[in-house]
A and B are shown apart, each in its own frame.
Chain A
Amino acid sequence: MTTMLAVRDLHAGYDESSVLQGLNFELKKGEVVCLLGANGAGKTTTMAVLSGLVDASSGSVTYDGQDLLAMPSHRRVEAGLSLSPEGRKVFPNLTVEENLVLGSFNSKARAGRAARLEEVYTLFPRLAERRVQSAGLMSGGEQQMLALGRAIMAKPRLLLLDEPSLGLAPMIVQAVFEAIRKIAATDITIFLVEQNTHAALSIASRGYVMSAGRIVHAGSAAELRQSPEVRDAFIGGKSARTIREARHA
């Protein structure tokens, strides 16, 4: 398998605080990989750097042979890198369909937009029923579906998902993960951040565990399920928060 994304010694942070402190990991084409870790580990910051919302201070990211950090955000989207962000961030006063159509704003995704819209509606029939509704008026689960759908509209080759299960009822989590499973069955590479370790390891083939801005553990899904660091958190599908609490205990 060829390498899709290679992150080397990545450092990044915000004005006062440095968050990523030498991050290293790799994704191969077509893989589904999850990134686990306690609150504040730097998972969302990692996603923000990859998508260009936050600048890296040092290190390198190679995406499909290109220097990702040298590309402005909109070029990254054109190159097939698409993020469904933590907290969904839908456009609240725009309709569901406008949100989705905006997903394929980038020049590479505009051709075939109508067909992809139908695919998204097939994947999430709920969105089809709500297509003229303002996105901000929908339930959390529906907004999560919309954020996922919008990310798919960009015609991604690497899909980044930041906590798609955040704040959702168990039944909705199941529906969302079912959809992610279907997306994974295409040739789209998926990098998934989750606190819901159980759900994440059920669709990822392998994963990384992050703590304080570094990868502290890596392994196949089966290994991670067995690993002492993850296992405590994993039993009963409890969140990664438990890891931290267990460590501090």
Chain B
Amino acid sequence: MHYIPQLIVDALLLGGIYTLMVIGLALSFGVTRVINFAHGEAVMIGAYGAYTIALVSGIDPLLALPLLMVIGCLFGMALFKVSIEPVLKAPHVNQILLTFGIGLVLQNAAVMIWKADERSVVTPYAYSSFQFGEVFVAGGRLIGFGVALVLVAALFFWLRRTEFGRATRALDEQRDAAVLVGINVKRMYALAFGLSVALGVATGVILSFIGAISPFMGFHILVKGFAIIVLGGLGSIVGAVLGAFLLAFAETAVSYYVPNGTGWAEAVAFAVLFLVLVLRPRGIIGQAVAD
């Protein structure tokens, strides 16, 4: 039973990072109603961006983070304008194929540029660890959690308190009325998509120093992202946060209590997707907390 405090701390740290990982996906879906199957690749590109900057110039991923996020946002907005905007009125399956294809292109580009090997960025804090009583905390994870927390809080602040954040929520809730109050819908779509890519990129930057990265990591991230979103109810940002912590707790518990659990933990997301889609297609939290 002495595992329990450690389990809670590990799950919380992981949940914070999962929140950051999924919140961009929820944001872009909530606003544009297009599911971005390339979100995992945004994370992957962010990770390799941090890796490359560290390799070439020795700049720490945390210092490179703001720049990478800005580039990610601009790239996301441009990508939206040229590729997704033209298919907004197309059937969902066309949109899915399009974003899926964008993900494949990015994945293959990454294999060509960085090769298929796993890599990671070594930072002074990545392998440090702290002990609080019986509980050990890896420095990299703690810092990653802190960064995720700040970014998620910043996003919530933006949504609540700023002109464009308010417009984003309006568009999420009632598209026609958003048009009627004079919101430039296409511009807001591009902005939300750009922000979601920036948040994905930030997740990748964190993952670059807390674990191994590879050009294929996007797929696992996407599956986890879907599991989380499905747990929280599609399109709800608050739901996505709860879903992130639920998945983190489930995975951590499996890795603690199941023999050879670390491997099985990776299957939790698949199991969740399967169970929720079969038993509760509207998500566990449902639309009740839709934000």
Q: Which residues of A contact B (CB under 8 A)?
A: 51-53, 72-74, 76-78, 82-83, 85, 89-94, 98, 101-103, 105-106, 109-110, 150-151, 154
Selected from A73, A74, A91, A106, the residue in CB contact (under 8 A) with B170 is A91
Chain A residues with CB under 8 Å of B180's CB are 51, 53, 73, 77, 82-83, 85, 89, 151
Evaluate whether A74 and B183 lie within 8 angstroms (CB atoms) in the complex, with A93-B291, A105-B163 already known.
yes
Pair A150/B179 contact, Cβ less than 8 Å: no
Q: How far is the CA of A77 from the CA of B181 in the complex (A)?
A: 7
Q: Which residues of B contact A (CB under 8 A)?
A: 163, 166-167, 169-170, 173-174, 176-177, 179-185, 290-291
Of the candidates A77, A91, A92, the one having the most CB atoms from chain B within 10 angstroms of its own CB is A91
* CB atoms of B182 and A77 under 8 A apart: yes
Partner of A102, one of B176, B181, B185: B181
Give chain A residues whose Cβ lies under 8 Å from the Cβ of B181.
77, 102-103, 105-106, 150, 154
C-alpha spacing A91/B182, complex, angstroms: 14
Q: A98-B166, A102-B166 are in contact. Are A93 and B173 (CB under 8 A)?
A: yes
User: CA of A74 to CA of B181 in the docked complex: distance in angstroms?
Assistant: 8
The listed residue with most B CB atoms (<10 A of its CB), out of A78, A82, A85, A89, is A89
Q: Is the CB of A92 within 8 A of B173?
A: yes
Contact B184 A94 (CB under 8 A): no
| Contact between A105 and B182, CB atoms less than 8 A apart | yes
Given contacts A74-B182, A93-B291, 14 further A-B contacts (CB under 8 A): A53-B176, A53-B179, A53-B180, A73-B179, A74-B179, A74-B183, A78-B182, A83-B180, A89-B180, A102-B166, A105-B166, A105-B167, A105-B182, A110-B163
A89 engages B182 (CB within 8 Å): no
What distance in Å separates the Cβ of B86 from its nearest Cβ neighbour in chain A? 17
In the assembled complex, the Cα of A92 lies from the Cα of B185 at a distance in Å of: 19
- Are the CB atoms of A85 and B177 closer together than 8 Å? yes
Q: In the bound complex, what is the Cα–Cα distance between A114 and B115 (angstroms)?
A: 57
Give the residues in chain B near A73, CB-CB below 8 Å. Answer: 179-180, 182, 185
Q: Are B170 and A85 in contact (CB under 8 A)?
A: no
Known: A94-B170, A94-B173. A51 touches B179 (CB 8 A): yes
Instruction: A184 to B184: give the CA distance in the assembly, Å.
Output: 28
Instruction: Provide the bound-state CA to CA distance between A105 and B185, in Å.
Output: 12
A89 to B174, CA, bound (A): 7
Q: Which residues of A contact B176 (CB under 8 A)?
A: 53, 85, 89
Chain B nearest Cβ from A110, distance in angstroms: 8
Instruction: Tell me the complex Cα distance, A78–B180, Å.
Output: 11
Kindly state the separation between the CA atoms of A85 and B38 in the bound complex, as whole angstroms: 37
Q: Which B residue's beta carbon lies closest to that of A78?
A: B182
Q: Pick the contact of A106 from B166, B173, B182, B185 — CB < 8 Å?
A: B182
Q: Which residues of A contact B185 (CB under 8 A)?
A: 73-74
Select the residue from B173, B182, B291 with max chain A CB neighbours within 10 A.
B182
Complex A-B: 10 CB contacts under 8 Å:
A51-B179, A73-B180, A73-B185, A74-B183, A91-B173, A92-B173, A93-B291, A94-B170, A103-B181, A105-B167
CB proximity of A78 to chain B, nearest CB, Å: 6
Give 7 closest A-B pairs by Cβ, nearest first: A77-B182, A106-B182, A89-B177, A74-B184, A74-B182, A91-B173, A73-B179
Residue on B nearest A153 in the bound complex, by CB: B181
Cβ–Cβ contact B182 & A92, under 8 A: no
**Chain A residues closer than 8 Å to B291, beta-carbon distance:** 93
Q: Which single member of A74, A76, A90, A109 contacts B177 (CB below 8 Å)?
A: A90
What B residues does A77 contact at CB under 8 A?
A: 180-182
**What chain B residues lie within 8 Å of A83 (beta carbons)?**
180
